[in-house]
Amino acid sequence: MTTTSTPFAPVKWQDDALVLLDQTRLPVETIYLTLTTSEEVWAAIRHLQVRGAPAIGMAAAYGLYLGVRSSDANDFEAFWHHLSEQADYLGTSRPTAVNLFWALDRIKARVQREAGKPVAELKAAVLDEALSIQREDAEVCRRIGEHLLTLLKDGMGILTHCNPGALATAAYGTATAPLYLAKERGWNLKVYADETRPVLQGARLTAYELQQAGIDVTLICDNMAAMVMAQGKVQAVIVGTDRVAANGDVANKIGTYGVAVLAHAHGIPFYVAAPLSSVDLDTPTGADIPIEERPAEEITHGLGKQVAPDGIKVYNPAFDVTPARYITAIVTENGIYKPDEIRNCKR
Ligand code: MRU
């Protein structure tokens, strides 16, 4: 396993508990939450204390263990029933990032493979699989970064949206992985981070983690991206994803679609960093991806105080879908694909 050079540990299994870096408090406060029940994990996912597709999957995996570790089931059937109930429950925490369901299904598949063993061993297998998911994620992100780096050159300007960073993964991030690797190689990339309304993951998280890592990052408001592109400051856009559909459409944080259209208009390549855990070949097109709608208060009170009139109607989709035609390439740990090739990607 490769060692990591990114400074954050957003998800940790420590002293028989799940320890999460509370991302709603960054960048002002660094507070860790210690969670010991699946209900607490469900709430932490729902309320964005842990967020970003791979981190949600990792947290849910540990949440599943917390949900079954005290199970009084004494045979496989009873344990399977309890495990399935807990997995279904954790699956209701957020709908869009497929990594959540991928992680829960992966654990269920492991337990199926171990059917016949004593319940204590099945419980141990659940934890072991959760730990493997986290361990592998760091390596997956590094490989995505290495592939992406082949598409970049020293001195480029890179624009990103939301937080596809180390704070959203086990290490490196997905879209940020090439930025960390470029830094290790002594390159000078200039990164533009969209602030990412309404929850400001770009300002609070991406700008913060890249700054902490000594990467040249400049924060811009979302509505400045067109200007920055027109000024020739951006040579590539790299974003993460919450789900890639079989036809190459990509769901990511709201605003990504607009950035893709802008990149297309300016002739700038638009890359999606996608671990295979985010590639969902069972979802035929972007129109089939469930898009989460979040509370109105994220917009009306988004900056810590009321910024909109009482009673105003609000529409707050948390994600949008970028059509495959605006995507130059989808970069996975197993290689670089054109969107229409993703259904045949190596898994
Ligand atoms: O609502 P969030 O903060 O969970 O949304 C996160 C994103 O949209 C990220 O860009 C995506 O999960 C990629 S994470 C590597």
pLDDT of 173: 98
Taking the whole predicted model, whether its pTM rises above 0.95 is answered as yes
ipTM of this complex: 0.98
Measuring from each residue's beta carbon to the nearest atom of ligand 1, which residues come in under 6 Å? 48, 51-54, 97, 162, 164, 168-169, 173-174, 201, 240-242, 252-253, 318
* Residue segments in the chain with a per-residue pLDDT below the cut of 70: 1-6
pLDDT of 5: 55
Task: Single out the catalytic residue among 194, 242, 280, 320.
Answer: 242
Determine the Cα–Cα distance for residues 161 and 269; give it in Å rounded to an integer.
14
At position 272, the amino acid (one-letter code) is V
Determine the Cα–Cα distance for residues 290 and 53; give it in Å rounded to an integer.
14
pLDDT of 304: 79
Q: Does the active-site annotation cover 222?
A: no
pLDDT of 3: 41
CB neighbours of 51 closer than 8 A, spacing ≥ 6? 23, 45, 163, 168, 201
CB neighbours of 303 closer than 8 A, spacing ≥ 6? none
Q: Is 201 annotated as a binding residue?
A: yes
pLDDT of 4: 44
pLDDT of 149: 98
| Position in ligand 1 atom list of the atom nearest CA 51 | 4
